[in-house]
């Protein structure tokens, strides 16, 4: 006999967990299936934790209205999560400082990026080098100017996953860990998930949030979803117990033939997460000596003091990417029972609350709001993935 529920969710990363949490809060019976031994062990635990409004290039296209919604939802969503989980997810306000280390980069930011920043529905303020160093005294003397992206937030994604795990554990969600889904199917009356042990879950809706592996379950996405490997690690400055920096800091720098993307995100317990590398279509999530060396070199260019900080955890993860770096959210079958929620690239933590809201609204039939319809259109699985207007340059985070 199949197990029966309203909604079966495949994948318990930040996306599947956020969806399970929101749907069960609204009284739906939910089964959440993950192949790993715990929730969040895919890309989600590997994220830097920027709630990005403008830093990512993908933020600046049509996705900006979806990001605006997620940014607005974020703090109330975390408040609710704290009540239900008992876990406080610490959030750093103050924004992101994007610095330029030479005149050429500052000119690029002013001529190419600033016009897009001012069109996006978020604040941006140009800073002189002195103003940037007033805000973050450890910035390199080489900084020639910067921009403050004031509305960006940052959190520790592993702390977010602890809160989601706890809230899901206390909810009515049936959690199946160490459980791999091998097939999904749909008919006019129900959808089905076939598990590796041969058992079957029957549901009104099946949500596939299986990260970069989502295309293996949904043939329609097979050629669309691919992994982008990213590495990062934690540094700890000596003697610091609170946030070591007041902002997160990002830069694009020239390193010979390549560009480097130093990104520093302070944590409330004195660590600074630093990253990130970006390798498309790499399926191996092992951290490497090259990743470590590159990130250390980029980071100490932006903030020389980091060269002396002690190294803690070093990790890698596989971002689930789509061709235009915009998530794929929507039904993918003729019966409207198989729902994709994947392809968030470098923005899955940023977009978790809005993705959960979009999926819940769709399942509950709350579809009349024109803004909801616009968000669904932007993330539609049926969009033209080759349309340049919808395809910002590749992401870097
Ligand atoms: C280095 C790095 C830095 C990043 N920084 C940021 C950032 O600053 N801000 C931001 O917003 N985002 C960031 N991201 C991106 C973010 O981590 C991802 O977008 C997000 O975690 C994707 O979540 P997910 O739930 O879709 O996928 P995942 O977390 O990968 O979860 C997918 C889950 O599906 C499960 N699964 C897969 N196949 C099956 C199956 N057949 N059966 C059962 N379970 C299955 C896996 O076990 C996994 O737990 C970063 C990512 C990396 C790697």
367, with CB counted inside 10 A (0-12, 13-18, 19+), is: exposed
**What pTM was computed for the model?**
0.97
CATH class of the domain at 96-150+226-321: alpha beta
Mean pLDDT for 372-382 is: 97
Banded model confidence at residue 391, pLDDT cuts 50, 70, 90: very low
Nearest CA to ligand 1 atom 12: 347
* pLDDT top residue among 328 and 390: 328
254 Cα: distance to centroid of ligand 1 (angstroms): 28
187 Cα: distance to centroid of ligand 1 (angstroms): 29
pLDDT tens, residue by residue, 252-265: 998 887 889 999 99
CATH of range 3-75+158-225+324-379; options 3.40.50.300, 3.40.430.10, 3.50.50.60, 3.30.56.10: 3.50.50.60
* pLDDT top residue among 249 and 62: 249
Q: Kindly state the greatest CA–CA separation across the chain.
A: 68
pLDDT at position 203, please?
98
Ligand 1 pocket mutation pick from 160, 225, 349, 394 by most atoms within 8 angstroms of CB? 349
| Radius of gyration of the CA atoms of the chain, in A | 21
Banded model confidence at residue 392, pLDDT cuts 50, 70, 90: very low
Domain map (residue ranges) of the chain? 3-75+158-225+324-379, 96-150+226-321
Residue 387, phi then psi, degrees to nearest 5: -70, 115
Ligand 1 site residues, Cβ closer than 6 angstroms: 10-16, 33-36, 41-44, 46-50, 52, 180-181, 209-211, 213, 217, 230, 232, 275-276, 317, 319-320, 342, 344-350, 397
Mean pLDDT (the chain) is 95
Mean pLDDT for 196-215 is: 98
Q: Which residues contact 76 (CB under 8 A, 6 or more apart)?
A: none
Atom of ligand 1 nearest to the CA of 11: 34
pLDDT at position 386, please?
76
pLDDT at position 390, please?
47
256 Cα: distance to centroid of ligand 1 (angstroms): 31
Query: pLDDT above 90 covers what percent of the chain?
Result: 92
- Least confident among 26-40, 49-63, 329-343: 49-63
180 Cα: distance to centroid of ligand 1 (angstroms): 16
Atom of ligand 1 nearest to the CA of 44: 21
């Amino acid at each position: 006999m199949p197990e029966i529920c309203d909604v079966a969710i495949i994948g318990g990363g930040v996306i599947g967990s956020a969806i399970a949490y929101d749907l069960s809060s609204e009284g739906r019976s939910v089964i959440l299936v993950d192949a790993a031994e715990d929730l969040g062990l895919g890309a989600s635990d590997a994220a830097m934790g920027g709630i990005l409004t403008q830093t990512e290039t993908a933020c600046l296209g049509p996705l900006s209205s979806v990001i605006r919604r997620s940014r607005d939802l974020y703090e109330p969503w975390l408040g609710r999560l704290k009540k239900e989980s008992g876990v406080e997810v610490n959030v750093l306000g103050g924004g992101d400082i994007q610095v330029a280390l030479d005149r050429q980069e500052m000119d690029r930011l002013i001529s190419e990026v600033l016009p897009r920043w001012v069109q996006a529905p978020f604040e941006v303020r140009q800073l002189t080098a002195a103003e940037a160093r007033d805000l973050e005294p450890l910035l390199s003397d080489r900084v020639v100017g910067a921009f403050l992206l004031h509305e960006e937030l940052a959190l520790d994604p592993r702390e977010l996953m602890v809160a989601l795990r706890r809230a899901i554990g206390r909810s009515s969600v049936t959690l199946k860990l160490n459980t791999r889904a091998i097939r999904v199917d749909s008919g006019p009356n129900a959808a089905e998930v076939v598990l590796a042990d041969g058992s079957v879950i029957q549901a009104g809706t099946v949500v596939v949030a299986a990260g970069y592996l989502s295309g293996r379950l949904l043939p329609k996405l097979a050629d669309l979803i691919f992994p982008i490997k990213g590495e990062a690690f934690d540094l700890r400055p000596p003697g610091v117990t609170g946030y070591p920096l007041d902002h997160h800091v990002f830069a694009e720098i020239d390193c010979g033939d390549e560009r480097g993307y130093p990104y520093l995100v302070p944590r409330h317990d004195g660590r600074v997460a630093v990253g990130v590398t970006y390798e498309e279509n790499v399926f191996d999530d092992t951290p490497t000596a090259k990743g470590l060396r590159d990130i250390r070199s980029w980071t100490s260019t932006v903030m020389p003091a980091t060269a002396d900080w002690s190294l803690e955890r070093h990790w890698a993860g596989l971002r689930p990417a789509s061709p235009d770096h915009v998530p794929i959210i929507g039904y993918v079958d003729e019966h409207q029972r198989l729902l994709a929620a994947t392809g968030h690239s470098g923005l899955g933590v940023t977009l978790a609350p809005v993705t959960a809201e979009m999926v819940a609204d769709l399942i509950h039939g709350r579809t009349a709001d024109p803004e909801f319809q616009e968000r669904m259109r932007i993330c539609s699985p049926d969009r033209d993935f080759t349309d340049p207007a919808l395809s910002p340059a590749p992401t870097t985070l």
